[in-house]
A = this chain, B = another copy of it.
Amino acid sequence: MSEDKELVIQANESFYRAFESLDSQRMEQVWAEDDSIQCGHPGWQILRGRKAVMESWRRIFENTPAVRFMLTDICVALHGTVAWVTLYENLIGSVEGQNVSATVLTTNIFRKRPEGWRLIHHHGSPVAQPPSQADPTTVH
């Protein structure tokens, strides 16, 4: 596996660890310092620009006592200084006072910056029928 591919996988992992930490500052560090960032939370309208995206994370974190992700079927596409990762977020936790368990199909796009690979686009969407044979160890 190329070094960049490895770094993209790490950046992707950092995003989910930041999400689990429910720490807005940690989440801010995962994203590019770029006003063109975009974020589509499952079922939400798309948010564009750093201010709107970071406000959404603060709001989510304020209303989430705990959340854990198991990532499955991770696939990385690398094109120079841009890369995207597709995967299923297998989510367990407590969101806005209710226990939830869900599978979300996600596209995360990263851009290579001097400081490392940073997230610039997140699009998550509910999956009607989660895959039955997802393998958490598989990285394509």
Contact = CB atoms under 8 A, between A and B. Distances in A.
Interface in A64-112: 73, 75, 77, 79-82, 84, 86, 105, 107, 109, 111
Contacts of A128: 43-44
Majority SS of interface residues in chain A? strand
Contacts of A125: 40, 42-43, 105, 123-126
Number of this chain's copies in the assembly equals 2
A30 to B, nearest CB: 18
20 contacts: A38-B77, A43-B125, A43-B126, A43-B127, A44-B128, A45-B129, A45-B130, A46-B73, A46-B105, A77-B121, A84-B109, A84-B121, A86-B123, A107-B109, A107-B121, A123-B123, A123-B125, A124-B125, A125-B125, A125-B126
Interface in A1-38: 36, 38
Interface of A: 36, 38, 40, 42-46, 48, 73, 75, 77, 79-82, 84, 86, 105, 107, 109, 111, 120-121, 123-131, 140
A53 to B, nearest CB: 13
Nearest to A111: B79
Contacts of A86: 38, 40, 46, 48, 121, 123
